[in-house]
Amino acid sequence: MSDAELESIEKAAEDSASEPSTTERVANELSPLRVWPAVVLLVLMAIARFVPPTIEDAPLILMMVAVIGPVVLGALILLWWLTFSRASLKERLVGFFGALLIALGCILSLDKTMIGPGIMMVTVPLGTAAFGIGAVLLSRWLSFNRTIVALLLALCGFGYSTLLRSEGMWGHFALDLHWRWEPTAEELMLADRADAPTSDAAISSDAEMDEWLADPQWTQFRGPGRVSQQHGPAIQTDWLTNKPELIWKIPVGPGWSSFAVAGNLLFTQEQRGEQETVVCYTADEGIEVWSQEIESRFFDPLGGPGPRATPTLFDGSVFVQGASGQLQRLDAKTGESIWEVDVREVADREPPVWGFSSSPLVVGSAVIVHAGGEDDKGTLAFEIESGELKWSTAAGDHSYSSPQLLNLFGEDYVVMFTNAGMNILDPESGESRCDFEWKLEGYSAVQPQVIAGNSIVLASQQETRCLDLTQTADGFEVEERWASRKLKPDFNDFVIHDGYAYGFDAEIFACVDLETGQREWKRGRYGKGQVLMLADSGVLLVIGERGELILLAANPSKHEELASFEALDGKTWNHPVVIGDRLYVRNSQEAACYRLPVENESENPDDLAGQSAAPL
């Protein structure tokens, strides 16, 4: 080899040694990331998600921040990466579009119950937060691999939600999440039905059924007067030594209906697969007597699947409103359909966000429901005998309240409370006697009640108002006596006793003076449950959102908890019913009957169970 060749080789080696390696070149092209914007966005995401639910009396818009805020902030994290992170162009493009593709793939793989709030509250926040956290932690690693690791973390975050299913939300807007592969309570119920007792011997005779249906004890939603007050034997309050006795407990399909009761017959509504079902059970054993099904399944991301309304008993018939809009009259003895009307067609509208929830009200020859259609198709009255439309009148387009029969100045009127306000209607013609405007940000779901003769109490998520009515030649004039934010029920009705209202102020139980609107006390975190007044015992029966049963003294001076026990398992929004010494409770997965201890235990338990709730 010549000297010239040796010199050429040596020069090439020197040049090669002086050139940076591939790793060094990549490192020289990369810079530490600008992380402070991502840190700020991650902190704001945590605040938006977890702080609003802890704020007492938080307005609805603040609660919506907890749902929408993390999604917006997650999108800003990806935007930071693309425009302001100091990542290289290759990193920015691969990271941004890679995260979008991962998110899209995971969203397409979600369980159908996770579509909507599940994406907003779990999928997007977790995925984008994981990507942002990875980018922050690896910001000074001058390697393209930091982008790969951030995307792998994003895959874990986005992908986690593909393992879940949602059964709706709790009252404080937290998703009720379960592993996707676990059977639902509804699936377990449907499997158990194959082994359930038959109804052949459930009822001994038609004559018995005729006798019970001729004098039903609890004919409608919230009982006589729709005020959730029971009259019966005095209840013992020492449950440590004399605890309520479980008579039976059975699985039921999802739904938020309560019970109507006639003797040994319980009527309710539930979802069974793709069939919305009206069911009659025996009150003493919980055995199914009959069921009537229509092919319909309503699901919403907050309430989950199933019907929302409660059956109404009248003159041997059961009137039911389905969540998708089917209004039916059934034979109470057999469940056979007498007529059916599709409220969607009559009102020319699709179901509202959380379904048709109006429990039918029977007045005279009409059965009345709220539909929320345009123009005069808001509140509808149908002929009991034929199902033909009798009258219709304007109302707000959203309400989860039911029509209420109130006696004002000695006469009966139908009162409908909606997101537009209150309508006082002539029950025979539907003609409006008063339209009180109160436009709500959200919805109405609580029943109006009369106090002090001719004053009406209306309650919403925003506040409670007391309205004094004055009779005029063609209707009523309304003057607001007081408005108070001291009682803000959501879908949790309040009860009235001796001039005080007892109910849920959001998730905490409270007592309000109805003369002034001032709150006497607020205590007891029972979630968004329901309450029943045992008037002759002077106690409140509260069913908590998680199924616990709490006995409170109806004491305006202080919150006085007398006893409690776990009655049901699972989310419980359904109204409890007490007949004599029997307590009937249910939720979206099970129903139960308990015998309450009474003061005079020498009485025949069967006689106590048959005592009726006296009309108010």
Q: Give residue 192's pLDDT.
A: 82
* Percentage of the chain modeled with pLDDT above 70: 90
Cβ count within 10 A of residue 612: 18
pLDDT of residue 602: 52
- What is the per-residue pLDDT for 10? 60
pLDDT, residue 29, reads 76
Domains, the chain, in order of start with CATH, read 17-179 (no CATH), 185-610 (2.130.10.10)
pLDDT of 50: 85
Confidence of residue 23 (pLDDT cuts 50, 70, 90): very low
The C-alpha atoms of residue 556 and residue 40 are separated, in whole angstroms, by 47
Contacts 24+ apart (CB under 8 A), 337-343: 337/292, 338/387, 339/386, 339/387, 340/294, 340/387, 341/382, 341/387, 343/369, 343/371, 343/380
**Dist. CA 530–CA 573, nearest whole Å:** 7
3-state secondary structure of 178: strand
The answer to whether residues 127 and 98 touch, using CB atoms and an 8 Å cutoff, is no
pLDDT on residue 166:
92
> Among the listed ranges 49-63, 98-112, 251-265, which one has the minimum average pLDDT value?
49-63
In what helix (H) or strand (E) does residue 609 lie, and over which residues does it extend?
Answer: helix 605-610
Q: Cα dist. 579→223, 264, 615 in Å? A: 10, 11, 13
- Per-residue pLDDT at 552 exceeds 60: yes
Question: What is the model's pLDDT at position 376?
Answer: 95
Give the pLDDT mean for 584-602.
91
Rounded to the nearest integer, the mean pLDDT of the chain is 90
Burial class (CB in 10 A: 0-12, 13-18, 19+), 503: buried
What CA–CA distances, in Å, run from 82 to 77, 136, 220, 416, 553? 9, 14, 59, 53, 60
Give the tens place of pLDDT for each residue, 480-526.
Answer: 999 999 999 989 999 999 999 999 998 899 999 999 999 999 999 99
Q: Evaluate whether 81 touches 87 at the Cβ level (below 8 Å).
A: yes
pLDDT at 452: 81
Confidence category of residue 441, pLDDT binned at 50, 70, 90: confident
Q: Are 181 and 129 in contact (CB under 8 A)?
A: no
- Which amino acid appears at position 577 of this protein? V
Give the pLDDT of residue 66. Answer: 81
pLDDT in tens, 350-382: 999 889 999 999 999 999 999 999 999 999 999
Q: What percent of the chain has pLDDT over 90?
A: 78
pLDDT attached to residue 65 = 80
Against a cut of 0.85, is the pTM above it? yes
